[in-house]
Structure 1
Amino acid sequence: MRIKQLGLPAVIVLLLIIFTVTAPHFLSMNNITSIVSGMVIVTIVAMGLTYSLSVDGFDLSVGSTVTLSNTLIISLFVWHQLSLGLSILVTLVCIIGVALLNLLLILYFKVPDLYATLATMFIVEGIALTYSEGGSISVGMSRQDGSATSGQIPADFSALASPLSLIMILLIIGVIAYLLLHRTNPGRIMYMIGSNKQAAKFSGIKVHRHIAVAYIISALLAGISGILLAAQVSSAQINSGAGYLMTAVAAAFIGATASASHKPNVIGTILGALLIAVLENGLVMLSVPYYALNIVKGCVLAIALILNYQQFTKGGRHRV
């Protein structure tokens, strides 16, 4: 996807210059590594959201899916002493169930995607909270009934949280997501569905199949993000993924605004996530209170939405 006039990269460079001047340690290697590794989870969530947006959908359940994934994999280690590979497999299989619930509501019961995924968001959040017995899960912590736990988090799993590992995972997922959406026939079909679902149906495209693939990818990427979050914090916390939804939405819409066609795209989403990460990090280094950062992210999202929707209004088109 061509990025129109390199506007978004230029804004990122401008922010880098401003924060370098105002915060002397901003461009230190440690801080740059912190920015890049810190944006990995939200970027992966946002790339999954990009797939649902490409078919004119909107997956609001990704934040709750991160929470469920985080809860499941830690519980499989601590409560059930499962191996690393089996724990990851079981977690991702369960996460596919979130996508299937979304698809049941959207494709079978014809509930609009926004409402369907909103319902799923609450359901999945409740499942995670109920499964975790209303509390956090960590090594050595007794369960709510008083029974002791003896499981440990594997060292290989904790190693996934190293900056190098996180950056490599992001690069691999980013390349695969880009190639699938922008360089394959199924990806092009997803964009066709997003542009005009009825026309896609009349041309013989299996619309439901491609919508299903988009939502499954969205859920799986949110599930992977939850696993990486678990590797970072080595515990499962209540609603741990809730904060990723708004940032992921902002990154995806900023990326869509930056593209020539104003369509959701993987490169734009990555750049949008980088913009938000740089902005957050720079403001923190300038001693802006952490509780005010959502104001900034909300304003950035509002600007992206205004630019995106004005473009399609002027062109007489619907959003993708």
Structure 2
Amino acid sequence: MTGFNQKTDLLSSDSDDARAQKGSFARRLSRATQKGAIFILLTVLIVGFAIAQPAFINVLNLMSILQAVSVVAILGAGVTITLAVGGFDLSIGAVAASSVMMASYSMIVWGFGVYATLPIVLAFGATVGIANALLIVKLRVPDLLATLAMMFLLTGLQLIPTAGRSISSGLILPNGMTSTGTYDPHFLLIGRYSLYGIVPIPVIIMIIAAIVLFVFTENTRVGRLLFAAGGNELATRLAGASTARLKTIAYVISGTLASLGGIIIAARVGRGDVSSGGSLLMDSVAAALIGFAVLGLRRPNVFGTVIGAIFVGVLLNGLTMLNIPYYTQDFVKGAVLVGALALTYGLGRSAY
């Protein structure tokens, strides 16, 4: 009987080990699926669209997708930085639209060239970031309310200098005078020129901005403190870091990136369109939130934001090439966002 019991115990032990190994494998598979879910879905989309419409996989079309999402990715990176400190910037779309108008006004009304216009517009974005930080840090206004107020302020302010008209050559100003300036050709190259005829300048700007911000947020002390401030503000202060300074840095970066996006739009369109930037806020926020799902990080990250922007761009471009009605695009973007976050948090819960 003793030998029989020992055999039974051994069999039971082997069965427990097998179940443990099986459970461990299931958890590893779930983690891997969670981390790679966006890339798997992106691959499926690209392959599916390429089969349905072979022109989709053309290099020029892929570059046009990247060019189309470059501004969204840049603005989304700004949202990501503010999310890192536990904030949220609702004014980025308005800053980008105001930057389009400011760049156009600078050249067409004031007659400035590209080398004067670029610093003016970027300084404008940084100034808006400082104003947001002042409201949030010094006056203790909740970030959503502060940046929402700034969004309305800028949306109205950009219309005043031209009495609500778009800016183009020959603009009749409210004082009755006619502007005589034109867009600097070198400025237009920012939005229209392609390196070697293949890679658009906005794509190069997006890549450089993403690399710089990724290194800054993931590999520098200040970048790590940004996430620390967002995770536990009290602990960050006790560690000797100034959370007020960190939040100011985050909002200044966000405002500057929004102005950079506005510069790219102005250079691409070649006029100060009062309707520019209408959907930039929602698209940028969607890219930043989809970025939470990339690699299963479940936190703001610049790399994930860029992938999120590309994901949405591929999806919308493919649907357009398949002649899917335009009015379904917002629904599709919403469905993608819900699905990406469900994959991140649903699989993430089952994996641990």
TM-score tier by shorter-chain length is over 0.9
User: Contact between 1:3 and 1:258, CA under 8 Å: does it hold in 2?
Assistant: no
* TM-score of the aligned structures, taking structure 2 as reference length: 0.84
* TM-score of the aligned structures, taking structure 1 as reference length: 0.92
In the other structure, the counterpart of 2:280 is 244
In structure 2, relative to structure 1, the CA distance for the partners of 1:12 and 1:167 (3 Å cut) is same
In the other structure, the counterpart of 2:258 is 222
In the other structure, the counterpart of 1:97 is 127
In structure 2, relative to structure 1, the CA distance for the partners of 1:313 and 1:260 (3 Å cut) is closer
In structure 2, relative to structure 1, the CA distance for the partners of 1:291 and 1:76 (3 Å cut) is same
In structure 2, relative to structure 1, the CA distance for the partners of 1:172 and 1:302 (3 Å cut) is same
- Name which of 142, 153, 171 aligns with 1:123: 153
* Displacement after TM superposition at 1:96 (Å): 1.8
In the other structure, the counterpart of 1:78 is 108
In the other structure, the counterpart of 1:155 is 185
Task: Confirm whether residue 302 of structure 1 aligns to residue 338 of structure 2.
Answer: yes
* Displacement after TM superposition at 1:56 (Å): 0.9
* Displacement after TM superposition at 1:210 (Å): 0.7
In 1: Cα distance, 2:348 partner to 2:147 partner: 24
* Displacement after TM superposition at 1:35 (Å): 0.6
RMSD: 2.1
Structure 2 spans left out of the alignment, 5+ residues: 1-31, 195-199
- Name which of 229, 236, 243 aligns with 1:207: 243
- Name which of 214, 221, 234 aligns with 2:270: 234
User: Contact between 2:91 and 2:150, CA under 8 Å: does it hold in 1?
Assistant: yes
Counterpart residue type for residue 209 of structure 1: R
In 1: Cα distance, 2:241 partner to 2:346 partner: 30
* Displacement after TM superposition at 1:211 (Å): 0.8
Larger Rg: 2
What is the 5 A alignment of 1:182-197?
182-197=218-233
In 1: Cα distance, 2:296 partner to 2:269 partner: 39
- Name which of 200, 216, 224 aligns with 1:180: 216
In 2: Cα distance, 1:137 partner to 1:289 partner: 31
Range 210-219 or range 27-36, more displaced: 27-36
* Displacement after TM superposition at 1:289 (Å): 2.1
In the other structure, the counterpart of 1:31 is 61
Structure 1 spans left out of the alignment, 5+ residues: 316-320
User: Contact between 1:69 and 1:226, CA under 8 Å: does it hold in 2?
Assistant: yes
- Percent identity, please: 33
Task: Confirm whether residue 133 of structure 1 aligns to residue 163 of structure 2.
Answer: yes
* Displacement after TM superposition at 1:306 (Å): 4.7
In the other structure, the counterpart of 1:270 is 306
In 2: Cα distance, 1:212 partner to 1:310 partner: 34
In 2: Cα distance, 1:274 partner to 1:70 partner: 23
Provide, for residues 130-189 of structure 1, a one-character-per-residue CA deviation record: whole Å limited to 9, x for no partner: 233211001223224432111111111111112421121111111111111111110000
